[in-house]
Structure 1
Amino acid sequence: MSIYADTLELQTNNDYKGITMEMDIWAIWSTNRIPSAIMGLTGMISIWIAARFASVMMEKGANLLGQITVTVFGLCVLLMNAVSMLMAQTNWNNTAKAFAALRDSGTEISPLAAEFIEKYGVNDPSLTNTPVFLVLLISVLVLLIGTVWLQPKK
């Protein structure tokens, strides 16, 4: 029997299909983490840009329109970061749902996939799932508002 024939025989085995499907889910999850990391890095850079804009505009003595513009920009940056975080959480949540669907179809899943379901399949994406990130967003909001609107009079 050739190696190719052995491979064909394995592909007809239900256990092998379950392992392949689980590995596919892991691969998709892993691949989807790349854009999440890029969005996270982009978010941190955009927060720095917003804080820098606020600082420079206030040093130059921005008028009311400038203050409003920088505030709106900063709020958009914070909203973009919140959406990015929710999208990253959605990847984890959908992966847990995919593992649960695979398990519910009668396919045996690995203990790691079962633990993944228990840990990440419980909650829908929410900023309260990641309190550190929520504190970061609130502190950036306070920093931007404080820089733009609470400057001491010269």
Structure 2
Amino acid sequence: MARVQGRGSFRPRWRPGDAVEVAWRGKGFEGSWTAAEVLVLDGPRHAMVRFAEFVDEVGSRLVERLELERLRLVPPPHGAPWTPRVGERVEGLWNDCWWEGCVRELDALKGVLFEYDRYANWSWLPLRAVRPRPPLWSYYPERQPLSGEEEEGA
């Protein structure tokens, strides 16, 4: 178990089986998140994750070793009914990723005019493909300090 100097022992932020979203890196993917599951912790700063929607050449779900800083909790479903406001910071679902952006316009037929945060790009998305952007404080699970017994076995 991880030990924080001067603070005792704490469980890692993530555990195998945790449902997460992964921040994509690389040209053309900045500002997007996609669903995955933590398979195993790999040292103090990495985890092996299995992606929900992305597959390798043979069709198996893609597994990658990633830095823990690229993981966040899956945001809870927003309460229905929810209608975003013009200017609200949201996430829009496109190509199996949730992209950070904001609402530029609402239309009863077209849906939400979504502007990507990191690109000079706009897309009309149906309302069902837009969700509130989660606050930063909600990205990580809270874990309790280890009890004395657990610490001895760590």
Return the TM-score normalized by structure 2.
0.24
The higher-RCO structure (CA 8 Å, 6+ apart) is: 1
Larger fraction in strand: 2
Whose Rg is larger?
1
TM-score normalised per structure 1: 0.24
